[in-house]
A and B are shown apart, each in its own frame.
Chain A
Amino acid sequence: MKITLKVWRQKSKDAKGEFKTYPLDHVSQDMSFLEMFDVLNNDLVRKGEDPVAFDHDCREGICGMCSMYINGRPHGPLQTTTCQLHMRTFKDGETITVEPWRAKAFPIIKDLVVDRTSFERIQQAGGYISVNTGGVPDANEIPIPKIDADKAFDAAACIGCGACVAACKNASAMLFVSAKVSQLALLPQGQPERKTRVENMVAQMDAEDFGACTNTLACEAECPKGISVTNIARMNREYFSAKASSENA
């Protein structure tokens, strides 16, 4: 199939970027979207041009590295990761516009690669549990209601790709942060740091200049892992109750 790619090219963080158009006439519909970019980059390298920089790692839809804004939607028209998106989703002769995630908290490094370390700093602010070393505890020693275990698992499915931020008109990170807060707040192991976690993670989220949530639900609609906005409501509850009752004055 033939397609025309309009790709955002930007040499460095502070350089001025622009769209470049690349016609491709030997694209297989069985290729993944990233494989199609590999083909484009092969062509560019052969011509002595700078290949398009883009993030990718596992190419199995579980690492959260790929991050393209395709035809106005994060990860393209399907609710999946870019690596799991195939060219058969597009029409022959279609023009496909590819942009990087756009957020003040995700500055562009090059072309389609954005710096998502703001997510890591939010995680470092509280997205963990402290476990002392010692004897190995028996498996299933701590009883956890099945329904809570399932909810925690659903929240833990977040791969931190940033599609929620990219999709949100406010570039809000609430879905990501709420998934990380919920995952640990729902489990007994997360209880010791429960209040400080949500306080510190929300403070870091604000410090990174992400926007506020206006409940448009675009994040949930675009999340490749189907993270629910019920997590955002849970984070709000956790935050309000932590602020009202924690010793952190």
Chain B
Amino acid sequence: MNWFTNFFSSTLGRKLMMALTGLFLILFLAVHLAGNLQLLKSDGGRAFNVYAHFMTHNPLIVTISVVNFAFIAIHIIWAAILTRRNRAARGPVGYAVTNNSSSLTSRNMGILGTLILVFIVIHLRSFWYETHFGNIPLVDYDGSPVKDLFTVVDVAYTQLWFVVLYVVSMAIVGFHLYHGFGSAFQTLGLNHVKYNPAIRFIGVAFSIVVPVLFALIPILMFLDITIG
């Protein structure tokens, strides 16, 4: 197994881990968004509460959520390891003048990622922790009691600062995705003249559409606007 550990401790092996966990988290974002859009339904939160109950009780989903947390941890830890190496690679003295020919987003993935981590901690404390360990009232749908997570979210989004925090955080997620999406494919070696335009288009579209839809949820709930 020497070759195996050897591979995963190489710079390319570590980058492969970043790309694979990153792509998984991109998929997770899409699923998370699809579920959360139910918050906007004008059914008093029934669809969302039933969905939340399913997501916290289905054994497959529960397993995937553990994997998801593990991948977030790997993505963060590997990023820290690589960043340390990359900083050290410049040597003891840096440049006095730099005139960058790369994009601001691509150079600051670590800072964007750290800000996203801060958001994730606040987000988990507000909703994930409350769901699992908080005292949430139950609602009864056709005889089966379900935690009323919708009300927890609805109350949280009556606070303007909380809505602003979410909107700003989604902008940061957007920038992180803008570089990360295409970068993951390049790291995996998936660079092909036929598919590059599609990867670029989907990457840009995803990094705009997904964060905008996520940000719309707290904005519309703050304004008490429901759809469908």
Chain A residues with a Cβ under 8 A of chain B: 6, 17, 19, 69, 71-73, 77, 97, 99, 102-107, 167, 169-172, 202-203, 205-206, 209-218, 221-222, 229-230, 232-240, 243, 248-249
Contacts and interface: CB of A to CB of B under 8 A. Distances in A.
A214 B109 contact: yes
Interface stretch (B28-36, B151-159, B187-195): B187-195
A69 B191 CA distance: 30
Nearest to B94: A102
Given A72-B97, A171-B89, A248-B3, 15 more contacts: A72-B99, A73-B99, A104-B88, A169-B107, A170-B89, A211-B88, A212-B82, A213-B15, A221-B102, A230-B191, A232-B186, A233-B189, A236-B15, A240-B16, A243-B3
B12 A104 contact: no
Given A102-B95, A243-B7, A172 B90 contact: no
Contacts of A97: 96-97
Nearest to A97: B97
Contacts, number: 136
A230 B193 CA distance: 9
Contacts of A203: 10
Interface of B: 2-3, 7, 10-16, 82, 85-86, 88-103, 106-107, 109, 179, 182-183, 186-191
A216 B103 contact: yes
A210 B183 CA distance: 19
Interface of A is mostly: mixed
B89 A236 contact: no
Contact of A99 (B86, B89, B95, B191): B95
A179 B191 CA distance: 15
Nearest to A104: B91
A56 B2 CA distance: 43
A107 B90 CA distance: 10
A77 B100 CA distance: 11
A222 B3 contact: no
15 contacts: A19-B96, A103-B90, A104-B90, A169-B86, A170-B85, A170-B89, A170-B90, A211-B88, A212-B86, A214-B86, A214-B183, A236-B15, A236-B16, A236-B187, A243-B7
Nearest to A215: B183
Nearest to B3: A249
A73 B98 CA distance: 7
A169 B99 contact: no
A154 B83 CA distance: 31
A77 B97 CA distance: 13
A71 B85 CA distance: 26
Contact of A171 (B13, B90, B191): B90
Contacts of B14: 212
B100 A218 contact: yes
B181 to A, nearest CB: 11
A170 B186 contact: no
A40 to B, nearest CB: 19
Nearest to B180: A215
A97 B98 CA distance: 10
A236 B85 CA distance: 19
Contact of B102 (A205, A216, A238, A240): A216
